[in-house]
Copies of this chain bind each other. A is one copy, B any other.
Amino acid sequence: MPDLAFRPSPALDAAVIAREAFVASVFEALRAESADGPGVTRTSYMAGEQRAHDRIAELARGLGLAVSVDAAGNLAARFSGRRRDLPAWITGSHLDSVHIGGNFDGAAGVIAGLTAIAAMIDAGLQPERDIVLMAFRAEESSSWFVGRHGGHLGSRAALGLLWEGELDSAIHVATGRSLRAMMTEAGFDPARIEAGPPILRPVDYAGYVELHIEQGPILENRDVPVGIVTGIRGAYRVRNGRVRGAYSHSGAVPHEYRQDAVFAMSDLVMALDGEWARRRAAGEDLVVTVGRFATEADRAALTKVPGQVDFTIDIRSQSRDTLDGMEAFLRGQAARIEAERGVAFTLEPFDRSSPSPMAPALVAALEAGADGLGIARLTMASGGGHDAQDFADAGIPAAMIFVRNDKGSHNPDEAMEIADFMQATRVLANVLWAQAGKA
């Protein structure tokens, strides 16, 4: 483990600050190339994402970095250090967005890494170790892929973390084609991912630092520009939930003969609401979301008892015990409601991703970096999943810097201030330099 003490570089810090206009221009270029109504759409493994990759690759080449694309389509731009034999550092994030999303979720981390490297070059600093800027594919897999998959398909492919069969069971929502087909059509090499050792091997890398906008309102509400992430919540998920009852006449069928899918699902939602309140009161870390709750568009009607509801459930916590407890509660309540209301729930496939703690020493280095630069910071959990968790899961020390963001993510109203982004990027650049600048 390298020495994680903070060594600030006034020249580097000044060079980061001087890149503010560059930063604004890159964000604007990405936005212009993927504008979609009120927001941006950069669809994973399709044209919107590709245009962003092309733009970042062009800028990286302009800085003299060695640009390559891996078998999964992830972009790597390598800033060579003096000691190519030492494990390198990686910084970056993803370039895809959700459908009609915001311009900052993902792209901010790539632009921050690019800016940190550009500032080192501007300041005439060459690190001992290589610093690799990476832009991952398909981090927004929950939006772009259905079927059986574990999310974050680009970074997990590079880290050798895809499940057996996942290349074929992850199905793109826009095309109905498998991840394998999407990669192949885009010119990448899924066979290499399947056959070879991981593209990113822990032995080759000293650590991973990712900047990302906060996706919740905590920094905004606490009036702090920068967050240092201690860990990423695990998520237990029902992606394709369904409850089936029976359609019948809304006026003519008495209560005792009904099998009402809406009452059944509402019962389950309120049961989750109550259990969530109980666990919050007990101090547990937990969020519960039923993002989709939909009767059938072509069969539901004012005058029909509803016979089917499709739904999703997303339960997240930093505690594995809490997640396991909520799963047991969910299954118990579904069984109760089936018996009481004459319906049948489908909760499978039930996805479980465990909480991913960030590397404590790297968290401490980021805290020290912010403190050393006089930048206010809050140490906090990440509620959202990020590529950083896959690095942690693969055994590469990982940490994250959050940037205050007023309006949440995954929507056109993301409202990150460039001033906050610059403060977070100063922390990123200085800490990267402190880590990679020496052997």
Residues of A within 8 A of B (CB): 98-100, 142-143, 214-218, 221, 233, 235, 237, 239, 247-255, 257, 260, 262-263, 265-267, 269-270, 273, 276, 280, 287, 289-295, 297-306, 309, 312, 314, 316, 382-385, 408-411
A258–B286 CA distance with the chains assembled, in angstroms: 13
* CB-CB nearest in chain B for A286: B255
Residues of B within 8 A of A262 (CB): 269, 290-291, 293
Given the known inter-chain contacts A250-B287, A316-B251, please indicate yes or no for A239 contacting B292, CB distance below 8 A.
no
Copies in the complex: 2
A301 touching B291, Cβ below 8 Å: yes
B291 touching A305, Cβ below 8 Å: yes
A392–B139 CA distance with the chains assembled, in angstroms: 63
A270–B384 CA distance with the chains assembled, in angstroms: 30
Most buried by B among A257, A289, A295, A309: A289
A267 touching B273, Cβ below 8 Å: yes
Residues of B within 8 A of A257 (CB): 216-217, 221
CB distance from A336 to the nearest CB of B (A): 14
A306–B287 CA distance with the chains assembled, in angstroms: 13
A248–B216 CA distance with the chains assembled, in angstroms: 7
CB distance from A346 to the nearest CB of B (A): 15
A309–B251 CA distance with the chains assembled, in angstroms: 23
Residues of B within 8 A of A293 (CB): 262, 265-266, 293-295, 300, 306, 309
Residues of B within 8 A of A263 (CB): 269-270, 273, 290
Given the known inter-chain contacts A214-B252, A410-B249, please indicate yes or no for A290 contacting B306, CB distance below 8 A.
yes
Given the known inter-chain contacts A266-B269, A410-B303, please indicate yes or no for A250 contacting B291, CB distance below 8 A.
yes
- The 3 A-B pairs of least Cβ separation, nearest first, read A216-B252, A252-B383, A215-B252
A326–B152 CA distance with the chains assembled, in angstroms: 48
B303 touching A143, Cβ below 8 Å: yes
